[in-house]
């Protein structure tokens, strides 16, 4: 099995891309630690993994809270005595609004979960990854990396851009410890993240674009699936990607090349 004996930690694992990745890592032999805020959602995925003979642990923690994420990582290592793979995936779209209506608390919440949450997850995991080497995969987006036309998504796109700089900085810092760091940039993927987006008064912003359906060239408009993204995550975390670090990979069916 590709990931036999390895422990993979995934934040935001209760739904969407995180859940699909947890299932695929477990199928490939990893012991999976799933972190999220809602224990019931995580427990359901643990049940799915156990039903197929895999091993999984669900821990509730808010990635933006240093003590919570530190304790979850400590509990992981106390349970399984090692940590090999970190998929820092938890994130929110947050509030999308004209700049003057984007309140400081909206901004801080998005930065706190998407960017500070990534920093905290990686920071507290690194001492354990360094013991034997490992792989970190961070979820960014087409927004903030190739797409800047979703006016109003300013806080979100800023976090997604910053995650790339963060990943490149630590890829170099951690290289001598054989810890690889890479970033995935999904386009439209069929998850529920959009339902939790709060959009305010975007029609009031000049230049606001309503994107027509059907703008994903590779699939004639069909969004990608969480499973397709998970396959990329597994590849980047695997020994097959042993010489790949400090880079981003877009998984979007060329959507971002068209939309920009």
Binding mask 31-50 for ligand NAD (x = CB under 6 A): -----xxx------------
Q: In what order do the strands lie in the sheet with 7-11?
A: 56-60, 31-36, 7-11, 85-88, 134-139, 179-186, 247-251
Smallest gap from Cβ 28 to ligand NAD, in A, equals 19
Choose, by CB under 6 A, the member of 161, 193, 202, 254 that binds ligand NAD: 193
236 belongs to the binding site for ligand NAD (CB under 6 A): no
Which CB sits closer to ligand NAD, 3 or 156? 156
Task: Determine whether 156 is an active site residue.
Answer: yes
Q: Which helix (H) or strand (E) segment is 182 a member of?
A: strand 179-186
- The CA distance from 183 to 141, in Å, is 9
> What's the token pair of residue 254?
């060329």
Choose, by CB under 6 A, the member of 6, 7, 8, 11 that binds ligand NAD: 11
- In the block, residue with structure tokens 């905290």: 120
Smallest gap from Cβ 80 to ligand NAD, in A, equals 20
97 belongs to the binding site for ligand NAD (CB under 6 A): no
| Partner residues linked to 139 by β-bridges | 184
> What's the token pair of residue 167?
């990943």
The closest alpha carbon to 119, from 88, 151, 155, belongs to: 88
> What's the token pair of residue 12?
């935001």
Which CB sits closer to ligand NAD, 7 or 113? 113
Check 3, 96, 156, 250 and give the catalytic one: 156
**Active centre residues (catalytic):** 156
Question: Site residues (CB under 6 A) for ligand NAD?
Answer: 11-12, 14-18, 36-38, 62-64, 89-92, 113, 117, 139, 141, 186, 188-189, 191-193
């Amino acid at each position: 099995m590709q990931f036999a004996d390895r422990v993979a930690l995934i934040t935001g694992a209760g739904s969407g891309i995180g859940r699909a990745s947890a299932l695929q890592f477990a199928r490939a032999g990893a012991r999976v630690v799933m972190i999220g805020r809602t224990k019931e959602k995580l427990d359901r995925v643990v049940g799915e993994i156990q039903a197929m003979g895999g091993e999984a642990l669900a821990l509730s923690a808010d990635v933006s809270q240093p003590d919570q994420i530190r304790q979850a990582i400590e509990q992981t290592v106390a349970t399984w005595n090692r940590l090999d793979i970190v998929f820092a995936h938890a994130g929110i779209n947050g509030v999308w609004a004209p700049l003057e209506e984007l309140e400081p608390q909206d901004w801080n919440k998005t930065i706190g979960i998407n960017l500070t949450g990534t920093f905290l997850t990686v920071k507290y995991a690194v001492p354990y990854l360094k013991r034997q080497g490992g792989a970190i995969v961070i979820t960014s987006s087409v927004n903030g990396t190739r797409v800047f036309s979703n006016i109003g998504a300013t806080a979100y796109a800023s976090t997604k851009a910053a995650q790339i700089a963060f990943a490149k900085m630590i890829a170099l810092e951690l290289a001598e410890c054989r810890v690889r760091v890479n970033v995935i940039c999904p386009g439209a993927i069929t998850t529920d993240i959009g339902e939790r987006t709060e959009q305010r008064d975007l029609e009031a912003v000049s230049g606001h674009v309503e994107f027509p359906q059907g703008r994903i060239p590779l699939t004639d408009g069909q969004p990608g699936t969480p499973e397709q993204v998970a396959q990329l995550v597994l590849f980047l975390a695997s020994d097959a990607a042993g010489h790949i670090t400090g880079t981003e990979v877009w998984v979007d069916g060329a959507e971002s090349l068209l939309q920009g």
